[in-house]
């Protein structure tokens, strides 16, 4: 994917400052298949550190970690691991090119997402689509380099759009981890504090994490607010 000055400006507005190697500029040279070297700690890099999962979530992860896309989607639809299943209209799995270079991880589905079964379809979705369009990306039909894959940390809507509970995040985490493994993104955008907590194991304020390159399983990860 070639990066234009407009894309660089949009990334800067989002608080993103990507690590650049001494003899190459990834913003102008595109994203290749070679995993980027770890950023120096002085540059504000952070690596997601594993935390012990709840016992039930650990048991679920054993089955989920080898699933392909079809089996994973069916497992999400059938999931009744927490009380969120009682009030949902449907699950919200994910949308986009499953080989996309970019993966966007949001927080939890809202009312419109619960109705339509797709992440980011309400007002926040319109804002996200505008942001993506501004840097030449889309959730629609396009080459993998211009597409994104979008998923939420939770696959069911919390009642009244309340904040997710720790146990709910833990039960959905194996699904999100497997989605990242299957997509194999070249860059991850974590939007909102619950996405950050799930991927980076960090409870730092979003404002302190923006503008830095983090790592999730070796993949560059950048942080911004939920739209």
Tell me the C-alpha to C-alpha distance, in Å, between residue 112 and each of 36, 100, 120, 123, 124.
37, 24, 8, 9, 10
- Binning pLDDT at 50, 70 and 90, where does residue 36 land? very low
- Binning pLDDT at 50, 70 and 90, where does residue 222 land? very high
Instruction: Decide if 144 is inside a domain.
Output: yes
Domain holding 208, by residue range, is 54-224
Number of domains in the chain: 1
Instruction: Decide if 45 is inside a domain.
Output: no
- The tens digit of pLDDT for each residue in 90-136 reads 999 999 999 999 999 999 999 999 999 999 998 888 888 888 888 88
- CA Rg value for the chain: 17
Strands 148-152, 102-106: parallel, antiparallel or unpaired by DSSP? Answer: parallel
- The tens digit of pLDDT for each residue in 48-102 reads 544 444 555 555 566 899 999 999 999 999 999 999 999 899 999 999 999 999 9
Instruction: Decide if 161 is inside a domain.
Output: yes
Instruction: Decide if 22 is inside a domain.
Output: no
The domain spanning residue 132 has which CATH number? 3.40.470.10
Instruction: Decide if 160 is inside a domain.
Output: yes
- The CB-based long-range contact list for 118-121 (8 Å cut-off, 24+ gap) reads 118/92, 119/92, 119/94, 119/95, 119/150, 119/151, 119/152, 120/150, 120/227
Instruction: Decide if 20 is inside a domain.
Output: no
Mean pLDDT score across all residues of the chain: 80
Instruction: Decide if 101 is inside a domain.
Output: yes
């Amino acid at each position: 994917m070639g990066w234009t000055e407009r894309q660089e400006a949009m990334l800067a507005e989002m608080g993103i400052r990507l690590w650049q190697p001494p003899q190459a500029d990834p913003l102008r040279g595109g994203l290749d298949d070679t995993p980027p070297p770890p950023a120096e700690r002085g540059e504000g890099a952070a690596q997601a550190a594993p935390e012990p999962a709840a016992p039930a979530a650990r048991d679920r992860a054993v089955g989920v970690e080898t699933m392909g896309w079809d089996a994973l989607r069916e497992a999400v639809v059938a999931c009744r691991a927490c009380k969120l299943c009682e009030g949902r209209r449907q699950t919200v799995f994910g949308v986009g090119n499953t080989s996309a270079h970019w993966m966007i991880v949001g927080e939890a589905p809202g009312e419109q997402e619960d109705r339509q079964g797709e992440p980011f379809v309400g007002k926040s979705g319109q804002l996200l689509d505008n942001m993506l369009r501004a840097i030449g990306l889309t959730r629609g039909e396009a080459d993998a380099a211009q597409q994104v894959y979008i998923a939420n940390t939770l696959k069911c809507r919390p009642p009244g759009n309340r904040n997710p509970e720790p146990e709910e995040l833990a039960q959905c985490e194996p699904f999100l981890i497997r989605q990242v493994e299957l997509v194999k993104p070249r860059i991850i955008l974590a939007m909102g504090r619950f996405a950050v907590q799930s991927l980076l194991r960090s409870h730092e304020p979003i404002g302190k994490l923006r503008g830095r390159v983090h790592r999730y399983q070796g993949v560059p990860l950048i942080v911004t607010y939920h739209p």
